[in-house]
Amino acid sequence: MQHTLTQHLRRRFLEFSLSDARPGREGAFFLTGAGIGWIVLLMGVVVFSAPALAREPLALPTERARELVRMVRQDCGSCHGLTLRGGLGPALLPETLRDKPPDGLKYTILLGRPGTAMPPWQPFLSEAEADWIVAQLLRGFPEESK
């Protein structure tokens, strides 16, 4: 959502800055120094808060969180290793995922990787659940509770 909002603001700013906008012209958008300042401030808030928001896990019901931990440890672990240190698929440890964009990880989980053994999990997971999994992987995925 933040990415789309940023793109929208950039596009609108460009449209208005290239238009023949003057004070008093009806229907024209005129950016004053203060208006530009507010837009820059808003864009900064959106851009700099996006990584923090992306890493903030959704609070899932305890039972669903347990199911997802088991799914990742068992199903994902069948390729990525039961300890997630790698196998047929790459390691899913915080240090190996640190430089990957969270949205890229989420969509890899949901849509899979065509031409590889990575299947799409979208039929079984919501986007919010995929976000939760990514957040947990970036922190160090929890062990299954017995």
Q: 75-100: per-residue pLDDT in tens?
A: 999 999 999 999 999 999 999 999 99
User: Does the structure show a pLDDT above 80 at 44?
Assistant: no
The model scores a pTM over 0.85: no
Rg of the chain over CA atoms, in angstroms? 21
Q: How far apart are CA 144 and CA 146, in angstroms?
A: 6
Q: How far apart are CA 104 and CA 39, in angstroms?
A: 27
Same domain, 16 and 75: no
Same domain, 43 and 86: no
Range of the domain at 45: 2-55
* DSSP code, position 75: I
Domain count, the chain: 2
Task: Pick the most confident of 19-33, 38-52, 60-74.
Answer: 60-74
Q: What is the pLDDT of residue 59?
A: 86
Is residue 145 a part of any domain in this protein? Answer: no
Total residues found in the chain within this entry: 146
Same domain, 67 and 112: yes
Residue predicted with more confidence, 10 or 70: 70
Q: What is the pLDDT of residue 1?
A: 52
Compute the average pLDDT of residues 109-116: 96
| Coil, strand or helix at 141 | coil
Same domain, 50 and 70: no
